[in-house]
Amino acid sequence: MAVLTEEQALIKDQASAWVIDKAPVSSFRALRDSNSGQGFQPETFKAMVDMGWTGILVPEQYGGSDLGYLTCGLILEQLGRQLTASPLFTSSLVGASALMLAGNTAQREALLPGIVNGSAIVSLALDESSRHAPLQTACEAGQSGDSFILNGKKTFVAEGMSATHFVVAARTSGHPGEAKGISLFLVAAQTEGVERVALPTIDSRDYARLSLTDVRVESEAALGKVDEGLPVLEAILDRACIGIAAEMLGTASQAFDMTLDYLKTREQFGRVIGSFQALGHRAASMYSLMEQSRSCVEAALQAVDAGADNVPELASLAKCQVGKFLFAMSNELIQIHGGIGMTDEFDAGLYLKRARVLEASFGNRAYHRDRYATLMGF
């Protein structure tokens, strides 16, 4: 477990208290039941802006606090515990990371202050099918004078309906499956030719299908070097995997706490069910998985902050390990609660649905096991 600074400990405690008081799972349930089509409550996100969470990764010169990925991960973990919906991960971690890793000074000055004050929501538009496969990018970006013309489709774009800008991965040369030829472009959501359609998902969040038809962007919209965007895209995805692993850790840890509380209070045959050896063994197994997952996630967050060379390996390890824990724990949450766990009135189903989406986001366990093995030379 990471040793937190006094400031990090205070921020974690603040986030925990605020989420429980102001954005508990009951708020998410109300949002889901409202059928408003919104993926998050604007007042909830505004409160995050006011607390400075949207600027955690942004340098002070752009209005942020530059407190690092471990601090950001501590907040995401608390949001995951209560299934709190917001663009914080999508825009303030993934979007901000893309700009910091690949953006030039003009691009950073144009968007980072907006990410900090909440007026800009920047989302990565990458996947083109239900499977995460960056190398299979087929969306085309053909050069036309000083501009690029984008044509293609993207799916499962997080905060897709509320985003103000997209970081679009497109192919400027080569064919799907080839490493060379992928480029990144900043595209304003209101650009002519950009169409988005809400994509209903089981976790009731804001996802969209994106269609790009003859979308013209100036050459200055390119993030990083044209044709050589894969390395920076992989660096962005590493940070996305680590950030979402932190949220997954929170979701699974809350499921563990709910289950443990039930084991301590539910009585059967005149005894609390936690005293039954078989259930005790299951709880112990989940606790071990939780601690292993926490170690992996916090090590990965610290590695990014330290600029370590093994961030890719730790990113895949964290996503895979916490995915294993979340899958098992979300199942245990329902199974140990028995009949009540199957009802919509109980929160277990909300955690299960969110778990399945998080597990698949930015690559499932099979994807990251294979990636980890490849990175380690197997």
What pLDDT, on a 0 to 100 scale, did the predictor assign at position 344? 86
Query: Which residue(s) pair with 208 in the sheet?
Result: 157, 198
What pLDDT, on a 0 to 100 scale, did the predictor assign at position 292? 97
What pLDDT, on a 0 to 100 scale, did the predictor assign at position 345? 84
66: helix, strand or coil: coil
Per-position DSSP letters for 220-255, written without gaps between them:
GGEESSTTB-HHHHHHHHHHHHHHHHHHHHHHHHHH
Mind listing the pLDDT tens digit for each residue in 306-315?
A: 999 999 999 9
Domains contained in the chain, CATH given: 6-120 (1.10.540.10), 124-227 (2.40.110.10), 231-375 (1.20.140.10)
How far is residue 163 CA from its own chain's centroid?
15
Name the band, by pLDDT with cuts 50, 70 and 90, for residue 278: confident
Name the band, by pLDDT with cuts 50, 70 and 90, for residue 81: very high
Between the alpha carbon of residue 130 and those of residues 36, 154, 329, the distances in Å are: 25, 10, 24
What pLDDT, on a 0 to 100 scale, did the predictor assign at position 5? 92
Mind listing the pLDDT tens digit for each residue in 248-271?
A: 999 999 999 999 987 888 767 878
Tell me the pTM: 0.96
Query: Distance (Å, rounded) from C-alpha 158 to C-alpha 252?
Result: 21
Identify residue 169 by its one-letter amino acid code: A
pLDDT above 80 for 106: yes
Name the band, by pLDDT with cuts 50, 70 and 90, for residue 55: very high
H/E stretch holding 218 reads strand 207-218
Q: Which span out of 173-182, 261-270, 339-348 was modeled with the highest average pLDDT?
A: 173-182
Share of the chain above pLDDT 70, in %: 99
The tokens of 230 are what?
């894969």
What pLDDT, on a 0 to 100 scale, did the predictor assign at position 339? 76
Q: Span 143-155, mean pLDDT? A: 96
